[in-house]
Structure 1
């Protein structure tokens, strides 16, 4: 059985790797068609400018964003891969349009869009084939917002002229704002607005002038701009944002007048002093968000947790992690291993040490990957790997293999290559270390008491301190097993090995299969019932393949035929299920349930603006603790009545799929994983109450009594 851990570790690692696919000039999603374009009517010449561009064709009613997205959204980003010496400039952004959404206003684009970029060709370029690569990321929105990305590649043949998209590049150039010669502008703060004087316009605008601010976090995008024309001067009164976060010395904006769709760019020096900034934080522009007033304030507990205290919390949280339901399947495997070596003290100690090393190193490796992805701009938190349907499907396959192995359907020793089987025989401690890695993989959906605050601090510390906290977390998780291995008195509490272990081994297959059922349910929540059924079919095919590989056969030909049949069935099932694993993010699937409404920063802001308390359940389908609390404490009829009596707005933030907006809100609360339960009072005078991960009705009632 134990060689399975080697296969398990490889499977878990493979689940993190993206599917390799050939890149081309076009990427099509359900909402946009994007294409990498080149414009070089005179060819690619040394010392000249080459124009590249990303053309985005939106589905009706969908939009992407300008460089300042407005109240919410995310600007499209382009990361170029060019030959040495080629230098890409900034995007020449066309003039956007205003996109009102309730009380918010965004800046963006609909229908057909081109984002052109000038590229300076080096003086030493001697011609030849030119290979261009691009990684683009954009946020596309309708009623919901979906982060999308694409990798593009294009090759320009040597000495070729490329002008097939001249009309689109020319039309975009005509729609791009330009500086107005001879014009000047100044601004000053008057109360809660900017008074802007623009001089040098060719004539009085025939209608309303639109003001598009390039500076983020300064103006109220949705407020009406008052305007007046007198003595050749256009005066604009632009309301400031109540949550203003910047005080620029020079404002940059685009002015668009009727009949001038491209508009003019203006730089506006601010005369005099700005008033002091308010205490509210600005809404993050990285993801769809509400105005800053609805951003959750940071929770005091994690913010005040010292590094040494975080280490203590990490150790306690790791130890308590063994009591979380997600760890039970691997817990049974480890107990079985301890019983096996009860009479071999030296082997038990070595196995305990190897298991501890596997747990600690796996926590550090997973933390290192998380920190690296966050450093690259990804909004991720603890348990991020389970937000991938591919990883969940891989984990379901892994537990199916473990269950089949325990049930005696097949033995890896009979199918492993001789060299690998020999290596395993010489290095039995590798199995213990890999069992530690498996324990970390299945434990990551859980957050135990003390653990949430420690992880919240870890993700705000420099990498060495953060990795130290994760290492101590792993040490805490492994500590009970290491103690049993090191202390003879504890080891003697275990039953003696005997014939009963054969039946117990088969019995342990059923917790594995139960885990598979749970993982399939998680997959259904993340994707669709079709994807869940497709993966279930893959698991049936996997079981058939294992049976075929494990069935004794007298002739080599029969064994090969059985093995080939099993692998063909498995490959066919994977081929059919693979397309079904593409899923909509959790925001699309969030629906109201009884008294609960889907979470959004807008909903939080509206409730608090109305003076209502807010209770938020940060949850995920793959978090068993979350689901237990949801079906017990948070479904308690009397507690729901208490919420109603206090007029509390109940919101549920579903983190089953990656949602950077929820990740940001968890970070504001000093947390990096779920479950998290937070209660806000009716006004800002009361700090938010972050409740324990192990929730009780009395705990919630106590919190309600404080508001």
Structure 2
């Protein structure tokens, strides 16, 4: 009777959790609004539909950004640094959003950089095409427009921000309260030129020729804005002239350009009184693009801070050194805390096999094959995606909340199995449950794959340079680097499996093995705690709480499946329904990005890294120390809690007036990936000390206080 009451209380608790999740979801939906205000920007979603939004008509919506004095956001080509504002629309069926009608930007010089963007107030209009497929509700005929927007607002520092907006427009009524603002935005659009424009490559510069400009502009100085990013030296010296009615310019080409286009859309602009005039054209490019001066340069928008040139790929000594570093780094990966449980469970398997040396050796080979092939597979995947233009880095598998959540579920299931809550034979067909007994090599192979998945996100010592070099090498040599990492990781286990002396020293099978098995459940649960913490850095406290709730539901399902008799059918049905309900109501919180204000990357001592921020600080004369880190990187967290928290180290930073930046790579960030690639690295941790006019100093991955003091002592005053 007491057990029954406890069970009913447990069920009530589950229903309460589900009810709270539904309420939380409803509150979240109702909290959407059309205005978001931060310390730097007021963002407001506006609409202009004076004739309603009936099918066949075009309505306009737009995000207005009102900047505080000194702050700015960016145009479609942000220039040397920055990031364009992005708008992601959620619209009903039959309503199509067009491209942003970007107003003419301004050139914003910052130190030795130049950006393109907007200060003051700017409205970014977007046309909505209402097709006949749009079927508004007859009860409440309206058009619901939802927007997820993100923007980077900068002064001397940069702050990434985002907001969710919602508007409800009447289908038949008029929406024209902001007509004056939209009319002003329409006038700020560049006019399209129809005459021929051309660009001729002359050495290391572009000779631009534009015809068809209004006669009243002849003789005036114009601003030049290429829409294609990373082609010209944005802050470089350039000249312009008029040849009759044709405007010409000579613009320097960036030695690290990101593309070699055959056509370049251009915007020319000038100010006439209080009015800003712009003219758009597309120029065909003729001639041969000069060779890049930095082999392996990475193209991104925004462009990362210029750093040391990538490691050259044509030095045999460098390759063999990287191969050795990869081998040693792979061996050190075995020391990662989350790998220990997997290896410990496999070592216990030695005792079960006793003197069967052949089976031990086959298991060692199978485990090693799983490790090496997994590393080679991950390397091949990265090379394929890199060739397709994807910006990835080592550890990318834990930059996705879905992967983190899946691993947490996997380790929860393994932990429950080790603790004796269930046996796999109760959940799967007997043929699968006995697979390990019939073919233990398969189990060893899969264990090797699992070890790679959980160990690879952190670059152990000696691995960072090797991985960075690997992705600048030809494919065959790059895959050798990845294979060397796998061999290094598998080597200790392989040596143990082939050593009869070591096998004889292992304890004999007995009752202790069941106790040891249950003990090993706790490292598994510890790994789950770490994964939930990682997800909390990506999706916030709501995401972590949602994952814990779903794991609880998963544990309930597994427990119910292990029951016998009629109660198994009833409780399994109930538990699966409960898990499905929880997944539907709170599952989206696992994938939802954390709120900008919820990040711990910026503290009283540390500021958040952003593209261009290092150069901005260097222009002010401040040396900069950047910590490239991630929540899933164990080495990063160790260094953060030890060397980077050391009072003497922090005092030395303060005495030398070093600005501390933290680049958080927990979630995928193409700008951080590109910055790492420019340093010749492809994973974290990476620690870099910058000083204007000097080559960046890259420190070791296992950071010591002595090394930091030595690097700081090298700063010039």
TM, length-normalised to structure 2: 0.70
Aligned length: 592
Following the alignment from structure 1 to structure 2, what is the Cα–Cα distance between the partners of residues 100 and 454?
Answer: 40
- Residues 111-130 of structure 1 correspond to what in structure 2 (within 5 A)? 111-113=124-126
Residue by residue, what CA displacement relative to the aligned partner does 1:342-366 show, whole Å, maximum 9, x if unpaired? 4322221111111111111211222
1:561 and 2:575 matched: no
- For the aligned residue pairs, the C-alpha RMSD in angstroms reads 4.7
Report the equivalent of 2:461.
449
CA shift at 1:287, angstroms? Answer: 2.3
Following the alignment from structure 1 to structure 2, what is the Cα–Cα distance between the partners of residues 472 and 282?
Answer: 23
The verdict on how the C-alpha distance between 1:565 and 1:247 changes in structure 2, with shifts beyond 3 A counting, is closer
Say if 2:206 and 2:253, in contact at 8 Å, map to a contact too.
Answer: no
- Residues 125-524 of structure 1 correspond to what in structure 2 (within 5 A)? 141-143=151-153, 177-181=191-195, 201-205=213-217, 209-214=222-227, 216-217=229-230, 253-256=266-269, 263-265=279-281, 286-289=300-303, 294-298=305-309, 306-524=318-536
1:98 and 2:105 matched: yes
**3-state SS of 1:106 partner:** strand
Say if 2:81 and 2:612, in contact at 8 Å, map to a contact too.
Answer: no
Report the equivalent of 1:59.
63
Following the alignment from structure 2 to structure 1, what is the Cα–Cα distance between the partners of residues 641 and 427?
Answer: 43
Report the equivalent of 1:81.
none
CA shift at 1:558, angstroms? Answer: 2.9
CA shift at 1:173, angstroms? Answer: 14
Residue by residue, what CA displacement relative to the aligned partner does 1:36-75 show, whole Å, maximum 9, x if unpaired? xxxxxxxxxxxxxxxxxx9995533299987755334678
**3-state SS of 2:65 partner:** coil
Select the residue among 595, 600, 604 that pairs with 2:610.
600
Select the residue among 660, 665, 668 that pairs with 2:678.
668
The verdict on how the C-alpha distance between 1:601 and 1:105 changes in structure 2, with shifts beyond 3 A counting, is closer
Following the alignment from structure 2 to structure 1, what is the Cα–Cα distance between the partners of residues 596 and 488?
Answer: 35
**3-state SS of 1:658 partner:** coil
Report the equivalent of 1:46.
none
> After alignment, is 336-345 or 387-396 more displaced?
336-345
Report the equivalent of 2:696.
688
Report the equivalent of 2:135.
none
**3-state SS of 2:105 partner:** strand
Residue by residue, what CA displacement relative to the aligned partner does 1:136-188 show, whole Å, maximum 9, x if unpaired? xx99524356899xxxxxxxxxxxxxxxxxxx9xx99996754454x889999
Say if 2:394 and 2:682, in contact at 8 Å, map to a contact too.
Answer: yes
1:627 and 2:637 matched: yes
CA shift at 1:396, angstroms? Answer: 0.9
Following the alignment from structure 2 to structure 1, what is the Cα–Cα distance between the partners of residues 276 and 108?
Answer: 25
Report the equivalent of 1:702.
710
CA shift at 1:515, angstroms? Answer: 1.1
> After alignment, is 311-320 or 654-663 more displaced?
311-320
Report the equivalent of 1:644.
654
CA shift at 1:213, angstroms? Answer: 2.8
Following the alignment from structure 1 to structure 2, what is the Cα–Cα distance between the partners of residues 628 and 499?
Answer: 37
The verdict on how the C-alpha distance between 1:670 and 1:281 changes in structure 2, with shifts beyond 3 A counting, is closer
Say if 2:421 and 2:559, in contact at 8 Å, map to a contact too.
Answer: yes
Say if 1:100 and 1:222, in contact at 8 Å, map to a contact too.
Answer: no
Following the alignment from structure 1 to structure 2, what is the Cα–Cα distance between the partners of residues 281 and 96?
Answer: 36
The verdict on how the C-alpha distance between 1:94 and 1:680 changes in structure 2, with shifts beyond 3 A counting, is closer
CA shift at 1:657, angstroms? Answer: 0.4
Which structure 2 residue ranges, 5 or more long, are not aligned? 1-33, 37-42, 46-57, 67-71, 87-97, 130-147, 154-158, 164-181
**3-state SS of 1:306 partner:** helix
CA shift at 1:457, angstroms? Answer: 1.4
The verdict on how the C-alpha distance between 1:381 and 1:215 changes in structure 2, with shifts beyond 3 A counting, is closer
The verdict on how the C-alpha distance between 1:670 and 1:353 changes in structure 2, with shifts beyond 3 A counting, is same
Following the alignment from structure 2 to structure 1, what is the Cα–Cα distance between the partners of residues 708 and 261?
Answer: 45
The verdict on how the C-alpha distance between 1:639 and 1:625 changes in structure 2, with shifts beyond 3 A counting, is same
- Residues 27-46 of structure 1 correspond to what in structure 2 (within 5 A)? none
Select the residue among 678, 683, 687 that pairs with 1:677.
687
Say if 1:314 and 1:476, in contact at 8 Å, map to a contact too.
Answer: yes
CA shift at 1:227, angstroms? Answer: 8.7
Following the alignment from structure 1 to structure 2, what is the Cα–Cα distance between the partners of residues 688 and 59?
Answer: 39
Say if 1:65 and 1:107, in contact at 8 Å, map to a contact too.
Answer: yes
The verdict on how the C-alpha distance between 1:328 and 1:347 changes in structure 2, with shifts beyond 3 A counting, is same
Report the equivalent of 2:559.
547
Residue by residue, what CA displacement relative to the aligned partner does 1:651-703 show, whole Å, maximum 9, x if unpaired? 1111000011110111111111111112234532xx33322222221222232
Following the alignment from structure 1 to structure 2, what is the Cα–Cα distance between the partners of residues 381 and 586?
Answer: 24
Report the equivalent of 1:86.
none
Say if 1:57 and 1:113, in contact at 8 Å, map to a contact too.
Answer: yes
The verdict on how the C-alpha distance between 1:606 and 1:641 changes in structure 2, with shifts beyond 3 A counting, is same
CA shift at 1:506, angstroms? Answer: 0.6
Say if 2:624 and 2:661, in contact at 8 Å, map to a contact too.
Answer: yes
Say if 1:187 and 1:270, in contact at 8 Å, map to a contact too.
Answer: yes
Following the alignment from structure 2 to structure 1, what is the Cα–Cα distance between the partners of residues 313 and 704?
Answer: 21
The verdict on how the C-alpha distance between 1:204 and 1:666 changes in structure 2, with shifts beyond 3 A counting, is same
**3-state SS of 1:653 partner:** strand
Report the equivalent of 2:26.
none
- Residues 67-78 of structure 1 correspond to what in structure 2 (within 5 A)? 68-72=77-81
The verdict on how the C-alpha distance between 1:463 and 1:226 changes in structure 2, with shifts beyond 3 A counting, is closer
Report the equivalent of 2:627.
617
Residue by residue, what CA displacement relative to the aligned partner does 1:264-307 show, whole Å, maximum 9, x if unpaired? 53759999x99x999899997622246xxx32223659996633
**3-state SS of 2:683 partner:** coil
**3-state SS of 1:671 partner:** coil
The verdict on how the C-alpha distance between 1:566 and 1:269 changes in structure 2, with shifts beyond 3 A counting, is closer
Following the alignment from structure 2 to structure 1, what is the Cα–Cα distance between the partners of residues 449 and 294?
Answer: 43
Which structure 1 residue ranges, 5 or more long, are not aligned? 1-27, 34-53, 78-90, 117-137, 149-167
Following the alignment from structure 2 to structure 1, what is the Cα–Cα distance between the partners of residues 84 and 361?
Answer: 55
The verdict on how the C-alpha distance between 1:283 and 1:415 changes in structure 2, with shifts beyond 3 A counting, is closer
Say if 1:67 and 1:75, in contact at 8 Å, map to a contact too.
Answer: yes
Say if 1:616 and 1:677, in contact at 8 Å, map to a contact too.
Answer: yes
Following the alignment from structure 1 to structure 2, what is the Cα–Cα distance between the partners of residues 244 and 68?
Answer: 16
The verdict on how the C-alpha distance between 1:101 and 1:562 changes in structure 2, with shifts beyond 3 A counting, is farther
The verdict on how the C-alpha distance between 1:417 and 1:454 changes in structure 2, with shifts beyond 3 A counting, is same
> After alignment, is 440-449 or 65-74 more displaced?
65-74
The verdict on how the C-alpha distance between 1:186 and 1:683 changes in structure 2, with shifts beyond 3 A counting, is closer
Say if 1:311 and 1:454, in contact at 8 Å, map to a contact too.
Answer: yes
1:584 and 2:598 matched: no
**3-state SS of 2:363 partner:** helix
Following the alignment from structure 1 to structure 2, what is the Cα–Cα distance between the partners of residues 657 and 250?
Answer: 34
Following the alignment from structure 2 to structure 1, what is the Cα–Cα distance between the partners of residues 391 and 81?
Answer: 16
Say if 1:74 and 1:285, in contact at 8 Å, map to a contact too.
Answer: no
Following the alignment from structure 2 to structure 1, what is the Cα–Cα distance between the partners of residues 635 and 240?
Answer: 57
Report the equivalent of 2:549.
537
CA shift at 1:432, angstroms? Answer: 0.9
